[in-house]
Amino acid sequence: MISGHDTNVANLGGLLDLHWHVQGFAPDDPSPGGAIVLERLRDARGGRYVRAYYRSQTLEGVRAASEAVVRQPLPLPGCRARGVAGLCEAKVFADLLRARIEG
């Protein structure tokens, strides 16, 4: 788990070339309490995968003190494991991340 401020969310999104849009905010603008979630998955055969989504509330939800959360899939560029756009094999994701950090 990685926790941080809106600038950390924006920087991680930029590093991974992820794009989101929450109603009431500019594209790729982190909302209060918004988060990029990276899920680690395993299939029945032991294959390991990573997928991402953006989790947040809309401004209306914040104003209304609603607990409703918007979950927006974030396809990981260059990943298409098992025919699913944005789903990365864990090793491919690690290599992609390493290449972008060491860039």
CATH of residue 11? 3.40.50.1240
Instruction: Classify the phi-psi angles of 35: left when phi > 0, otherwise alpha if psi is within -120 to 50, otherwise beta.
Output: beta
Please tell me the total count of domains within the chain. Answer: 1
pTM: 0.86
> Cα–Cα distance between 56 and 62 in angstroms, integer?
10
Q: What is residue 1's predicted lDDT score, i.e. its pLDDT?
A: 60
Residues 94, 80, 8, 62: is their CA dihedral positive or negative? negative
In a domain, 81, yes or no: yes
The reply to whether 72 falls in a domain is: yes
* Domain hosting residue 98, numbered range: 6-102
Q: Report yes or no on 61 lying in a domain.
A: yes
Q: Is residue 77 part of a domain?
A: yes
pLDDT recorded at residue 63: 86
Q: Sign of torsion, CA 26 28 29 31?
A: positive
Rounded distance, CA 79 to CA 39, Å?
Answer: 14
Is 84 a member of any domain?
Answer: yes
Q: Is residue 1 part of a domain?
A: no
User: What integer pLDDT is reported at residue 83 of this predicted model?
Assistant: 86
Task: Note down pLDDT in tens along the chain; length 103 residues.
Answer: 676 899 999 999 999 999 999 988 999 999 988 999 999 999 999 999 999 999 998 888 888 988 889 899 999 998 988 888 889 999 999 999 999 999 7
